[in-house]
Amino acid sequence: MIKKIYCTEKNLERKVKPYANIMEGNNDIKRKTVTKILAKLKKNGDSALLETTNKLDNNTFKNIKEIIVSKKEIKEAKYKCSKSFLSALNLAIKRVSDYQKKLKPKNLIYKDKLGIKLGCIWNPINSCGLYVPGGKAFYPSSVIMNGVPAKLAGVKRLIIATPAYKNMIRPEILAAAEMLEIEEVYKIGGSQAVGAMTYGTETIKKVDKIVGPGNFYVAEAKKQVFGLVGIDSVAGPSEIMIIADKYSNPEWVAIDLLSQAEHDEEARAILVTDDKKLADNVEKSISKFLKKLSRKKIASESIKKNGLIIIIPKISLSYLVANLLAPEHLEVMVKNKKKLIKNIKNAGAIFAGRYSPEALGDYVAGPSHVLPTSGNARFESGLSILDFLKRTSYIEANKKGFAKLFRPTEVIANSEGLDAHAKSATIRFLKRK
């Protein structure tokens, strides 16, 4: 059922590399579809948004006002949720808030040896669109993981775009929005939601940045509009890699792999181990658990299509696999985890130890679950409060400091043929004389 590859120390890189940076097949047709939708949204605004939303999300909205979630509906949503859910949501918000507060940077101004003041000033982005996946599935956790750092950063205007199912949005999503005091929520999804937030329509004002995970159409739309708005990342299907040794419980490993496989048929679940017996037992456990999963069909297809067990000669080499594939989620379930983790440089999030399943990070651990996928952890980080802040450089030179620096400024400017730059430096020197 699940593919296995066997590696030696010498051929490890050659065998593993083909599995790096794997995105969804050839999607030229899908990309062209996104381009057309975006162009239509830009030209026709609300009418295009209404038409596309009904057609692609299988809704039956009669007018554009129906895509707006009223403040009353947001406020009353919590009464439709269980007390245990609301309690869990409150805990998640608190833990994510505590974590993000610690990441918030402070303004920095210092004086160098020449007496010149240098530093940076942090300011929040003015407006931001939070994309929350929805439709048949629903993810109130994504409201928290996007919304909490945005609120803490001080973003003035936050809107949520989430696809409706049969014209409705689940109360759990709206309850999360209410807890974060987000009052602007729209029943829109896919590339049309990205287009509406980018260009603006008669009903929806455009935003400065769009964040949050979504399907291929959402990711492609974000990619195409980047530059007109900021984006957090271009995300692909969810993925997990588990590094496990002979001491690991195969059932724990199996269910953790399936925790990502159940997201999407394109999701990737990868086990790296040096123990063939563990690999076989994990495979058996996967088959056992699949029979009982409510999303059996999705998880089965994911495992069949993108599941992988990489068997290496010794577990100490597993960091090489992690660095090559740069997984979104990386569980390290080995005896000597500290030594191994020191060598891991590419991962969206590391879950260290046998009691740190990826599911913990999805909901209540603290860091955002919006993480780089498709090998992007080589150069990208997970969503945080930093994504909602802008850094402005600060420079304040005094006369003494300027006198020391104007000549090198002139020399470099002249070397680049930029006369006005050079004159801008020397004119102050001459005037002072």
Helices (H) and strands (E) counted in the chain, each on its own, are: 17, 15
Q: What are phi and psi of 383, to 5 degrees?
A: -60, 140
Every domain of the chain and the residues it spans:
3-24+236-365, 28-231, 399-432
Confidence of residue 232 (pLDDT cuts 50, 70, 90): very high
- Closest to 285 measured CA to CA, from 331, 253, 311: 253
- C-beta separation of 286 from 257 below 8 A: yes
Q: How confident is the model over 78-101, as a mean pLDDT? A: 97
CATH classification of 28-231, choosing from 3.40.50.1820, 3.90.1150.10, 3.40.50.720, 3.40.50.1980? 3.40.50.1980
The predicted model gives 173-186 an average pLDDT of 97
Residue 431 pLDDT > 70: no
What end-to-end distance do the CA atoms of the chain give, in Å?
Answer: 82
Q: What is the DSSP string of 127-177?
A: EEEEE---TTS--HHHHHHHHHHHHHHT-SEEEEE---BTTB--HHHHHHH
Greater pLDDT, 22 or 367? 367
Least confident residue range of 124-133, 136-145, 241-250, 317-326: 136-145
Q: What is the pLDDT averaged over residues 349-375?
A: 95
Question: CA-CA distance, 33 to 323, in Å (whole number)?
Answer: 34
Q: Where do the H-state alpha helices sit in 12-76?
A: 12-16, 28-44, 46-56, 71-76
* Residue 43 amino acid letter: K
Q: 294-302: long-range contacts (C-beta < 8 A, 24 or more apart)? A: 295/262, 298/261, 298/262, 298/263, 298/264, 298/265, 299/258, 299/261, 299/262, 301/265, 302/260, 302/261, 302/262, 302/263, 302/264, 302/265, 302/266, 302/267, 302/268, 302/269
Nearest 5°: the CA angle 244, 247, 249 is 75
Residues designated catalytic: 328-329
366: left (phi over 0), alpha (psi -120 to 50) or beta: left
| Joined tokens for residue 141 | 């956790």
- Quote the CA–CA distance of 58 and 180 in Å, as a whole number: 29
Quick one: pLDDT band at residue 362, thresholds 50, 70, 90? Answer: very high
Contact 341, 362 (CB under 8 A): no
61 neighbors 188 (Cβ within 8 angstroms): no
Whether 211 contacts 146, CB under 8 Å: yes
Residue with tokens 């400017």: 413
Distance CA 282, CA 348 (A): 24
Indicate whether 86 pLDDT > 70. yes
276-319 pLDDT per residue, tens: 999 999 999 999 999 999 999 999 999 999 999 999 999 999 99
Q: What is the pTM of this model?
A: 0.92
Q: For residue 387, name the pLDDT band (cuts at 50, 70, 90).
A: very high
Q: What is the pLDDT of residue 21?
A: 72
pLDDT value, residue 319: 97
pLDDT at 433: 44
Residue of 70, 78, 85, 86 whose CA lies nearest to 187: 70
Q: Is 3-24+236-365 a CATH 3.30.70.260 domain?
A: no
Fill in the DSSP letter of residue 229: B
Q: What is the pLDDT of residues 25-38, one digit of tens each?
A: 558 888 999 999 99
Sign of CA dihedral 408, 414, 417, 422: positive
Give the per-residue pLDDT at 28.
Answer: 85
State the CB neighbour count (10 A cutoff) for residue 52. 23
Q: Is residue 215 scored above 90 in pLDDT?
A: no
- Report whether 222 contacts 250 (CB < 8 A): no
CB 191 within 8 A of CB 210: no
Over residues 100-105, mean pLDDT: 97
For residue 349, is pLDDT > 70? yes
Judge whether residue 425 has pLDDT over 50. Answer: yes
By the 8 A CB rule, do 281 and 319 touch?
Answer: no
The answer to whether residues 141 and 369 touch, using CB atoms and an 8 Å cutoff, is yes
Percentage above 90 pLDDT, the chain: 90
**Residue 371 predicted with pLDDT over 80:** yes
CA distance 259 to 360: 11
Asked whether this chain's domains 3-24+236-365 and 28-231 adopt the same fold, the reply is yes
User: Are 13 and 319 within 8 A, CB to CB?
Assistant: no
Tell me, what DSSP letter sits at residue 199?
Answer: H
Give the chain's mean pLDDT: 94
